[in-house]
Amino acid sequence: MNRQWIYAVRPDGPVGVDNFEYRETDIPEPSEGQALARLCYLSFEPAMRTWLEDFITYMPPVPLGTPMLAPGVSQVVASNTPALKEGDLVSGMMSWQDYQVVGEQARVVPPGTPIPVMLGPLGGTGLTAYIGLFDIGRARPTDTVLTSGAAGATGSVAAQIARVKGCRSVGIAGGTEKCRWLLEEARLDGAIDYKNEDVDARLRELCPDGVDVYFDNVGGDMLETVMNHMAQGGRIASCGAISTYNQGMRRPGPSNMFQIIEKRLTIQGFVMFDHMDRVPDAIEDLGRWVAEEEIAFQTDIQEGFENIPTTFLRLFSGANQGKQLLKVREPE
């Protein structure tokens, strides 16, 4: 039996459990050149909400009536290709079902790599933070770097590698515990609790000379507030806009766009997939910083196939403490 979570109903507003439907089907048969793999871990990313729209973003929309997609790791259980052997762990885009048919180009996980690390700081999450901060934000050691979503998967890496590089690093996150983590574990220079503090006033206090690099994970009203605090020649690395995803991304932009001209700002969006040539540098640096405990990383691992939709929703309430994963089973 192959358990599935199907994308059943297009959301009109916040995504909910009712947008997905549980089904059971036969186990698929891999063709020549393919392998059958059993799902072990799923990774969740807020932009998956944008894949539920009926327009193309950086990904084609997930078709209604098919299993929802997410990055993950599966284990090969039968193979019709010499490129993959039984027991291999493969990573990449998976679907919300027990059995995945994977092609011979599937990326094999190097033996011994812990899955949560591979899906976190040494995977797409770390790469996104690395590119956004250095290539897009062009952070220099004298800069003040501000990161929103700073206690989350991507933001926590971005904010800490800014600190490692000698920048003054300030993070914005929701809640006392997340801000405590930013100050005590991630060792940032400042933390702003946007759910309980006046962000505008706290930015004046913590970034008196302005923000040189804003690593933006949130978009929306927060972006508008931060734009008023950007320093001359500041750079905004637009990584994500989670505050707008549940509104179908049809929101107007900030009302203070003149700040871009007045302060000679650069705002640049980026998608990690376009920067795969940076993987070797990113893995080398991030691997060293993780091994030397220069950067702390939190992983939030939920369990159970039945909990896949509710785990996805945790990203939007902020219930996740760090990288949101779900374990369906440990590899054998």
Ligand X SMILES: NC(=O)c1ccc[n+]([C@@H]2O[C@H](COP(=O)([O-])OP(=O)(O)OC[C@H]3O[C@@H](n4cnc5c(N)ncnc54)[C@H](OP(=O)(O)O)[C@@H]3O)[C@@H](O)[C@H]2O)c1
Which positions lie near ligand X, rule CB under 6 A? 45-47, 128, 149, 151-155, 173-175, 178, 217-218, 239-243, 270-272, 315-316, 318, 320, 324
In the complex, minimum distance from the CB of residue 1 to ligand X, in angstroms, rounded to a whole number: 31
In the complex, minimum distance from the CB of residue 181 to ligand X, in angstroms, rounded to a whole number: 10
In the complex, minimum distance from the CB of residue 30 to ligand X, in angstroms, rounded to a whole number: 30
Q: Which is nearer to ligand X, 30 or 171 (CB)?
A: 171
Q: Which is nearer to ligand X, 6 or 159 (CB)?
A: 159
In the complex, minimum distance from the CB of residue 107 to ligand X, in angstroms, rounded to a whole number: 17
Q: Which is nearer to ligand X, 40 or 218 (CB)?
A: 218
Cα(250)–Cα(48) distance, integer angstroms: 16
Q: Which is nearer to ligand X, 30 or 240 (CB)?
A: 240
Q: Which segments within the chain are labelled E, that is strand?
A: 2-7, 20-25, 34-43, 69-79, 89-95, 99-103, 107-108, 144-148, 168-173, 190-193, 211-216, 230-238, 266-269, 299-303, 323-327
Q: Which is nearer to ligand X, 34 or 43 (CB)?
A: 43
In the complex, minimum distance from the CB of residue 271 to ligand X, in angstroms, rounded to a whole number: 4
In the complex, minimum distance from the CB of residue 177 to ligand X, in angstroms, rounded to a whole number: 9
35 CB-side CA count, 13 A:
25
At 22, list the tokens: 């549980």
Q: Which is nearer to ligand X, 81 or 238 (CB)?
A: 238
Cα(154)–Cα(41) distance, integer angstroms: 18
| Contact predicate 180/296, CB 8 Å | no
Chain-centroid distance, C-alpha 73: 16
Closest Cα to residue 109, out of 100, 122, 121, 96?
A: 122
SS3 285: helix
